[in-house]
Amino acid sequence: MLVGRGLLPQLGDLLQVEANAGPRESRYLMVDRGVDDVVALSHGAVAEAGLRSSGTLVVDRFRAGEHEKGLAVVQAGWDRMLASGLDRTSRVVAVGGGIACDVAGFIAATWMRGVKLTLVPTTLLAMVDAALGGKTGINRPLPDGGLGKNLVGAFWPADLVICDTDTLATLPDRELRAGLAECIKHGLIEGEETLASLESELDGVLSRDPEVLPAFVARSAGVKAEVVRRDFRESGERALLNLGHTYAHAMESRSSLGLLHGEAVGIGLVAAAAASVAAGMASPALVERVRRLVDRCGLPVALPGVTEVVLTEMRRAMTLDKKVAGGVLRLVLMRGVGAVEVVSDPGSEVVDAGWAAVRTEG
């Protein structure tokens, strides 16, 4: 993983130096168009120019949204790769946010049983989370009309992740703030020193200080990278990275709520803290600290206007979460900052305490 400023214009050279890519390597470049096509017109264009000196270059500019993150875009990618003659020696390169990284990763994992993958995340959330760890996936519809997050996927790590923090200058404010939820999660997992660094640097990040962003991104991404290094297949410790996500994915299954992933994670962290108190693991002060920090990032701390029907649907969605094993829900809870653990079958009262802490009735 490379983190720094001015890296994107060097993409072609970095592939050769850092990923041992051949000068005539064929590539399938997937570019997330972004809001008002800003990613495609700016960052995607720079990436394309940097790859033109290689062999065959196939460029796919697509609209990356949760409902587009499905089998149709994957099949379209396979078709374009087939028509262009891209074989097992080719490489998939993704430029964009977390959805672009997930989709491109899944295509790379499945094309001819796996081809090389390079990710160039252009959102904060993708830099510190989605582009790291080798998880790829697409969504599938649920029987009740909801959306199942990443129900189909594979482990397929990128051989190179390039985080050019200059690309964050074009990121909408809402998207930048959404990425901070994953950074908070990493601080809660890693401990007081990391969380305190986040708190002290937060104003600089929100103002997009170019001198603050590289170290901030590298620190948060480093937490996830180290956990993944120790437990790539999520057989143990890596499950801690799901802190707040069981609640968040249930919220995201209701697209009518209109939440970005990071916004749902922020609310999910508050819910997980409240559930930890209900489980007798943490003090109420933890809930208030998490809530204040999420709020300081400009993220929602509660779900507005949720009816009992919607709440029931979200509870049901939790049972389809990938953290369920043998029909038993596993919830990531906290004893405190730096003391996070997986609790198997926490009980409905604990789960509901989390929902109660973030729900306003509709």
User: Catalytic site residues?
Assistant: 113, 135, 182, 224, 234, 238, 242, 245, 249, 261
Beta strands in 42-178 (DSSP E): 57-62, 91-96, 116-121, 135-141, 147-155, 160-164
Task: Measure the N-to-C terminal CA separation of the chain; round to a whole number of Å.
Answer: 44
Dihedral sign for Cα atoms in the order 182, 184, 188, 194: positive
- Give which of 265, 281, 301 is closest to 186, Cα–Cα: 265
Whole-number Å distance between alpha carbons of 14 and 141:
38
From the list 101, 148, 109, 147, the residue with the least C-alpha distance to 128 is: 101
Q: Which residues contact 138 (CB under 8 A, 6 or more apart)?
A: 69, 70, 71, 73, 74, 102, 103, 106, 150, 151, 152, 153
Please answer whether residues 96 and 90 qualify as being in contact, where contact means their C-beta atoms are separated by less than 8 angstroms: no
Say how far apart CA 137 and CA 261 lie, in whole Å.
14
Both tokens of 272, joined, read 């997980």
